[in-house]
Structure formats: structure tokens, C-alpha cells
Amino acid sequence: MESNEYVISPEQKGRRLDIFLSLTAKLDLSRSQIKKLIEESDITVNGRPAEPSYKVKTDDRIRVAVPPPKEATVKPQEIRLDIVYEDDDIIVVNKPRGMVTHPAPGNHSGTLVNALLSHCGHLASLGAPLRPGIVHRLDKDTSGLIVAAKTDAAYRSLVKQLKERTAEKTYVALVHGVIKQDEGAIEAPIGRHPVNRQKMAVLGNPNIEIRNSKESGQNSKKGKEALTTYKVLKRFEKYTLMEVKIKTGRTHQIRVHFNHLGHPLVGDPTYGGQKDEFGVKGQLLHAEKLKFVHPVTGKALEFEAGLPAEFKKVLQGIGDF
């Protein structure tokens, strides 16, 4: 069991216990995880249990005991898949909105990995235990194309292509507001939100050019390099339909970048901050195209998946589409 102890300085006094610990970079725990540790008496103040709302005082000694992670396993589940391509090495799936890519706290079943294990029988053994074969992911409410590796050799090849940016992912997104420039780039470092650990945010000194930017942005010590390019597909009275490509694969990258521009994705429950006029449950973001080189044959592959019905319905309701 990992144990950490902190002594509160005069500058830190007055903060809630759960907030203080959630901002402690070494722990990298969310407030919900911290609350659970407090409830299980794994966090104490001066040797005694405390409430999450406890206001820390100067010289308080806070002890945090983090239990070792439990052995992770994923069970196969028979769930219908929209398979776009499959062979002995890889499988490409059109993931529906609402499906989580791999098991995580709060989502241990019904995920794409559960379904893939049932359909394929096995996936690459490399990667984290809860996401075998997964080389990239899509957010729960992002629909579209995702590739998984069945073999370790395929996994290594796909990961390398993504890291070297030779694989290409193209998305379609509907954002609030009218973007005047026909195309452009957003280069702004992304990292964990300093207060809400469940969210991501643009950190440091971003270089955002909403025209035809080819310039290199500034990397922040707090955020990782993130580059998004876009092209306007269609403008509506209050919305813009975008073709978006990501050159890096940061968590929530498209959602964070467009929200930072003041054009959040329609339906985004986390970064939207806008009235949802359409009743959609989740951001209108679809991974439409996927290009990469087959890890065994070396053949260039390209796949495309049309917009889901819910996305089309919204577009038809706001204009001639």
C-alpha cells in the first residue's frame, strides 16, 4: 500500500481537505476517488478520520494510504458490432454514440472491449489490462471509426503510426456559433484541469491561429502539445459544421480546443456551456474517416462511416442538409 504524508503550510490553510488533495499533483486523484478513500478511513488528519469538507489548518498532518489496484480483468460480452473491416490482425468498427471504448471506474461492462473480446476471441496482449488491443479511443458520446489490434505485432505497428502521425483521423463536428474563416489550425497545449480533475483544459501559452496557421505553438510545462486543424463544411444561422483532423491524440482534444475558441460542440455536457436546443445526449462529434497502413501487408487502408441518424436529424432541422 502506497502511503503519503503532507504537513499543511500557512499558505495552504483554509482549503477543503478533498480539494487540497485533488490539487496535489503527486497523488493524481480525483475528488470522487479521494472521497472514497476518506470514507474507507484511508485518509486521516492528525491520525483521525475526517470529512471531505474539513478545512485544513496550519501544521495539520494528512496521511493518504492508497491501496494497490485490484487485478483487472475484462469479460467478453455478446454485443452487436458494426464491423467495417476485419482480418486476422486488425478489426475496424463503427462505434455507436453512448458506448464506452474500454472498461473504467463506473463502466465495467457493455464497452467496446467487452464486445470485441466476445467477437474476436482475443485481442493483442499489449497495452493496459483493461484495454487490450486498443491503440486509440473515442469518448463515450463520440461515434465513428476505431481500429483495434488482434496481435501484438499489429498493436506495435498501429501505435507507431499514431505516434509518428502517419495515421490520419478525420472527424465531423457541429459547433455553436458561425466560424468565419474557411479553414485553420488550433495549436494549444492540453492538460488536466487545475481544479476539476475530471476535465481537461488548455494550459500554458497557446498559439491559436484561426486562419491558415502553419506556425509552431508553444509547449507548456503543464500541458502536452496538441494540434487540431479544421475546415468549414457548412455554415448555418447559429452553427457551423466542421471537418476536423487531430495531429495529436490528447484526451477530449477537439472538445477542449473548440470550447477554448468560444465555439463549443453542440450537445457537449462537459465543455458546452450552451443551451441544448435539440435534446441530444452528448456532443455531436463523429469519427468519419480513418487512414493507416496495414501492419502486416503494408497496404494503405482508408475507411469511411457516414453520420449517424441523430446527427443527420439535427442538421436537417437547422437547415438544408
Three-state SS annotation for 270-310:
CCCCCCCCCCCCCCCEEEEEEEEECCCCCCEEEEECCCCHH
- Residue type at position 90: I
* CB atoms inside a 10 Å sphere around CB 102: 21
Exposure string for 195-230, b = 16+ CB within 10 A, e = fewer: eebeebbbbbebbbeeeebeeebeebeebbbbbbbb
3-state secondary structure of 112: helix
CB 295 within 8 A of CB 90: yes
- CA 276 to CA 79: how far, in whole Å? 30
Cα–Cα distance list, 253 to 37, 116, 137, 139, 306 (Å): 30, 25, 12, 10, 22
Q: What is the dihedral of CA 271, 276, 282, 288, to 10 degrees?
A: -100
CB 282 within 8 A of CB 267: yes
Q: Tell me which of 60, 89, 139, 141 is the catalytic residue.
A: 139
Q: Would you give the DSSP letter of residue 134?
A: B
Q: From 317, 223, 229, select the one nearest 266 (Cα to Cα).
A: 317
Q: Which residues contact 71 (CB under 8 A, 6 or more apart)?
A: none
3-state secondary structure of 180: coil
Known catalytic residue at 139:
yes
Active-site positions read 139
